[in-house]
């Protein structure tokens, strides 16, 4: 989302794994891998093993395809190849044509021209900028992205969605638009949108927009990895910097509301900037755990183990490289309390693959942000996209037999 993680979030809450896990941070991964290996062995002999908690969608009414995708996501890191889903975000459905900021599948075609392959995953926002071209004012225009997402799914690709929600108290249901999407430092209290709150009716109208979009995708059999309230531990959106218990109440309420309206094709993605397990709403409300990485921020091993401690598949849902020039990094302007730099055209994409393999091997997917961050910029795109770990469009979803 091209937002800047504030420096105050660098010291992150790691959640509450057991004391045994805290003493041996690799134990959880070892236990999961061992159980997964036993399940795979049973499957080879035709047995039907009990589903692991991270291999079953949180929504008990999830459509069969959603169950297939979730089970696949949970199994990827047990493979030796075709194990890391590649992804490229495709932009916003803006009212005006804003060039690189607008929704455009050309991001994916450019990758194909440079590498000979397409990424497996693409994504879109259900909201875009209004005619005034104010990034702080958003309008629902999901109709502009749904045909491309359906076509991508039909080709064998995967889809992810989310919304830069307008702030509920200033949202206009008649125009499907509203200002104040960016409300820093906890300037809005999410308790206002819980049942009985003063902004509940408008929040329901906002949720109904997403429900309409997801239901449309569901009619075409499309499963969406759907991010709700991404980057909630930042300080830039109205849903950021909330009291954790209130945030968790709102997430659970939304999950239940979507489910009550028949949305059964969504896999629910908990998406942070830095580690923020204090906001985690619970295993029964989340399918996938993820982080957004910009400006060469890389999680520490402790933070990485904190993500894995939640017991869900893990991925990088937004990646944007910063400059490789230390002098430029130091000279970069300060926005939101953190250094920001223009994305380079010389990023060596092999670096991302190397870091995931070496430091974060249980990563199931990544999605690169659009604009100047796109995969089409930078160097060694062909080598990166054709790495044996990559699961690209057209690669077998089932593991290769040797």
Give me the pLDDT at residue 375, please.
94
User: What's the angle, vertex CA 55, arms to CA 288 and CA 259, rounded to 5?
Assistant: 65
Contacts of 143 (CB under 8 A, 6+ apart): 93
What are the boundaries of each domain within the chain? 51-391
pTM: 0.83
Give me the pLDDT at residue 347, please.
84
Give me the pLDDT at residue 346, please.
76
Give me the pLDDT at residue 373, please.
87
Which strands, in side-by-side order, build the sheet including 127-129?
A: 127-129, 138-140, 177-178
Count other C-beta atoms under 10 Å from residue 179's C-beta.
17
Half-sphere exposure of 99 (CA within 13 A, CB side): 3
CATH class of the domain whose range is 51-391:
alpha beta
Strands 138-140 and 127-129: antiparallel
Enumerate residue ranges in the chain where pLDDT < 50: 2-53, 324, 332-340, 400-402
* Integer Cα distance of 283 and 306 in angstroms: 15
Question: Is 231 tagged catalytic?
Answer: yes
Give me the pLDDT at residue 133, please.
78
Tell me the pLDDT tens digit for each residue of 375-400: 998 889 999 999 999 999 998 776 54
Active-site option among 143, 245, 302, 318? 318
Active-site option among 210, 231, 305, 362? 231
215 within 8 A of 263, measured Cβ to Cβ: yes
């Amino acid at each position: 989302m091209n937002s800047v993680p504030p420096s105050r979030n660098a010291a992150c809450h790691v959640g509450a794994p057991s004391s045994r896990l805290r003493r041996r941070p690799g134990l959880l991964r070892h236990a999961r891998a061992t159980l997964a290996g036993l399940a795979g062995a049973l499957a080879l002999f035709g047995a039907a093993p009990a589903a692991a908690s991270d291999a079953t969608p949180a929504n008990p009414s999830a459509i069969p395809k959603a169950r297939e995708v979730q089970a696949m996501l949970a199994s990827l890191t047990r493979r030796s190849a075709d194990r890391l889903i590649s992804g490229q975000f495709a932009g916003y459905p803006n009212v005006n044509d804003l060039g690189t900021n607008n929704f455009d599948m050309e991001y994916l075609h450019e990758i194909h021209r440079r590498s000979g392959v397409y990424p497996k995953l693409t994504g879109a926002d259900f909201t875009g900028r209004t005619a005034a071209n104010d990034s702080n004012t958003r309008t629902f225009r999901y109709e502009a992205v749904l045909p491309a997402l359906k076509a991508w799914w039909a080709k064998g690709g995967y889809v992810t969605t989310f919304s830069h929600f307008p702030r509920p108290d200033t949202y206009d249901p008649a125009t499907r638009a509203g200002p104040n999407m960016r409300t820093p430092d906890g300037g809005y209290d999410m308790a206002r949108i819980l049942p009985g709150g003063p902004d509940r009716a408008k929040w329901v109208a906002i949720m109904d927009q997403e429900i309409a979009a997801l239901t449309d995708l569901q009619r075409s059999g499309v499963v969406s990895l759907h991010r709700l309230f991404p980057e909630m531990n930042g300080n830039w959106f109205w849903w950021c910097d909330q009291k954790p218990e209130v945030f968790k109440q709102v997430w659970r309420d939304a999950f239940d509301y979507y489910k009550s309206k028949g949305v059964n094709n969504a896999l629910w993605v908990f998406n942070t900037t830095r580690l923020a397990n204090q906001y985690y709403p619970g295993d029964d409300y989340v399918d996938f755990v993820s982080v957004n990485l910009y400006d060469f921020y890389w999680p520490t091993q402790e933070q990485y183990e904190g993500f894995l401690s939640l017991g869900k598949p893990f991925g990088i849902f937004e990646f944007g490289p910063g400059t490789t020039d230390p002098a430029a990094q130091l000279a970069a302007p300060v926005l939101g309390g953190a250094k920001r730099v223009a994305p380079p055209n010389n990023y060596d994409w092999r670096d991302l693959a190397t870091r995931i393999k070496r430091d974060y091997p249980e990563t199931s997917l990544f999605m690169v942000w659009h604009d100047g961050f796109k995969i089409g910029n930078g160097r060694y795109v062909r080598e990166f996209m054709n790495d044996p770990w990559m699961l690209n469009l057209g690669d077998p979803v089932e593991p290769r037999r040797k």
